[in-house]
């Protein structure tokens, strides 16, 4: 079961939702980066359960422990191991599911592949696996910010049929974190809150879209063939649990445009490098960053575990009905925001190191 991603900035996550803990090993982080648990914890706090009434009420502090790779508050260049211990798993909530398959979960497919599955919490398919990614991305965030001035920010752009109106160039972290929905449009945030609470009362769930922007990425990151920057971003984002769609720049909207409408015209920039008058390319052209903000969107399906009865089958193929128990998000979008940021940060840190290796004066 592969659990490692990256070429030079490599991350390996481990652990299960209902095991002793979850975590990550980060290999390839340069030395002398200031790093303590205090640098990692804020991102984990944004991802953790129980942070508002809109998300699962599983009570996890998600306190991170750095086990290796630092000395006196700085990275040494050695692998950085980080652990978050599970504290509030309730495996008995899954006992009645041991002999059946939950609709739209990984139960059947995991058992079909491996011949065994973790009944409690879904094992490695659980969104709790992303604790390791978010912890690793906190390292990448600090590395990119301090070494090359790159900032990555995501927010909830839509839930169900409610779409936010957001200035992608001006949105701030403060605006995103001002509401539990993590939607920086107050009017849309209020409507989203009402919709999520209604879905919970109805025993249902909602999906939506997370938008993410990476600012300050210079021109030149990425590859022109298989390792295109948008291809690596797409793989990272689509490997997150519950994702069903990815687009960058104009995305699927480009199919309805003409070339004159879609092409990003170049004009002289203030620092000698050209800039574009529009950003339909989403900051990437030919698989390589062009210096404009990288703008992407990820679609998340409605949470698969719902309180309403659902038709399914047992392991022996008999028809039955599932009445799910436990504590689950009626909408994953608020907690998906730091996960999308993590996916983008890990890819950008890897491509920064790769660019620095081949063109150190341009990285």
pLDDT 10s digit of each residue in the chain, 363 long? 899 999 999 999 999 888 889 999 999 999 999 999 999 999 999 998 766 667 665 556 889 999 999 999 999 999 999 999 988 655 555 666 778 888 998 999 999 999 988 876 678 888 899 999 999 999 999 999 999 999 999 999 999 999 999 999 899 999 999 999 999 999 999 999 999 999 999 999 999 999 999 999 999 999 999 999 999 999 999 999 999 999 999 999 999 999 999 999 999 988 788 999 999 999 999 999 999 999 999 999 999 888 889 999 988 889 999 877 665 789 999 999 999 999 999 999 999 999 999 987 765
Q: What is the pLDDT of residue 98?
A: 75
How many of the other CB atoms lie within 10 Å of CB of 323?
11
Residue 343 Ramachandran class (φ > 0 left, ψ -120 to 50 alpha, else beta): alpha
CA 117 to chain centre: 24
With CA atoms as reference, report the closest residue to 219 among 124, 279, 283.
283
Q: What is the pLDDT of residue 51?
A: 64
Rg (CA), the chain: 21
How many of the other CB atoms lie within 10 Å of CB of 227?
15
Task: Give the domain ranges of the chain.
Answer: 4-358
Site of tokens 């028809």: 319
The share of the chain scoring above pLDDT 90, in percent, equals: 75
Taking the C-alpha atoms of residue 223 and residue 355, their distance in angstroms, rounded to an integer, is: 9
Q: What is the pLDDT of residue 88?
A: 62
Element holding 113 (H helix, E strand): helix 107-114
**DSSP annotation string for 220-266:** T-B-SSTT-HHHHHHHHHHTSTTEEEEEETTGGGGGGS-HHHH---E
Question: What would the pLDDT profile of 269-324 be if each residue is shown by its tens digit?
Answer: 887 889 999 999 999 999 999 999 999 999 999 998 888 899 999 888 899 998 77
Taking the C-alpha atoms of residue 5 and residue 323, their distance in angstroms, rounded to an integer, is: 36
Tokens of 6: 């990256």
Q: What is the mean pLDDT of the chain?
A: 92
Coil, strand or helix: which one is 126?
A: coil
Tokens of 62: 């998600």
In eight-state DSSP terms, residue 96 is G
Pick among 3.40.630.30, 3.30.70.270, 3.60.150.10, 3.40.50.620: CATH of 4-358 = 3.60.150.10
Q: What is the pLDDT of residue 213?
A: 98
Taking the C-alpha atoms of residue 112 and residue 19, their distance in angstroms, rounded to an integer, is: 22
């Amino acid at each position: 079961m592969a659990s490692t991603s990256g070429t030079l900035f490599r991350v390996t996550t481990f652990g299960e939702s209902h095991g002793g803990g979850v975590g990550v090993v980060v290999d390839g982080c340069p030395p002398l980066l200031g790093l303590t648990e205090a640098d990692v914890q804020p991102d984990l706090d944004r991802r953790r359960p129980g942070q508002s009434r809109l998300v699962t009420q599983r009570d996890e502090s998600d306190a991170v422990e750095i086990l290796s790779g630092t000395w006196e508050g700085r990275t040494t260049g050695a692998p950085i191991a980080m652990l978050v211990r599970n504290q509030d798993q309730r495996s008995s909530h899954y006992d009645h599911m041991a002999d059946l398959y939950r609709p739209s979960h990984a139960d059947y497919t995991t058992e079909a592949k491996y011949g065994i599955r973790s009944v409690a919490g879904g094992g490695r398919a659980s969104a709790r696996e992303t604790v390791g990614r978010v912890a690793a991305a906190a390292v990448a965030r600090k590395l990119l910010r301090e070494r090359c001035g790159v900032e990555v920010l995501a927010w909830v752009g839509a839930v169900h049929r409610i779409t936010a109106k957001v200035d992608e160039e001006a949105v701030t972290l403060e605006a995103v974190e001002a509401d539990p929905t993590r939607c920086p449009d107050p009017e849309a945030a209020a409507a989203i809150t009402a919709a999520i609470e209604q879905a919970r009362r109805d025993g249902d769930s909602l999906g939506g879209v997370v938008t993410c922007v990476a600012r300050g990425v210079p021109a030149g990151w990425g590859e022109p063939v298989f390792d295109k920057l948008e291809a690596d971003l797409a793989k990272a984002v689509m490997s997150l649990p519950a994702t069903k769609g990815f687009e960058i720049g104009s995305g699927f909207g480009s199919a309805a445009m003409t070339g004159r409408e879609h092409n990003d015209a170049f004009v002289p920039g203030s620092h000698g490098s050209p800039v574009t008058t529009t950003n339909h390319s989403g900051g990437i052209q030919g698989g390589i960053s062009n210096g404009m903000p990288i703008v992407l969107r990820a679609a998340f399906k409605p949470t698969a575990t719902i309180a309403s009865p659902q038709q399914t089958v047992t392991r022996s193929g008999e028809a039955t009905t599932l009445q799910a128990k436990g504590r689950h998000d009626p909408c994953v979008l608020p907690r998906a925001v730091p996960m999308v940021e993590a996916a983008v940060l890990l890819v950008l840190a890897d491509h920064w190191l790769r660019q620095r290796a081949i063109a150190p004066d341009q990285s």
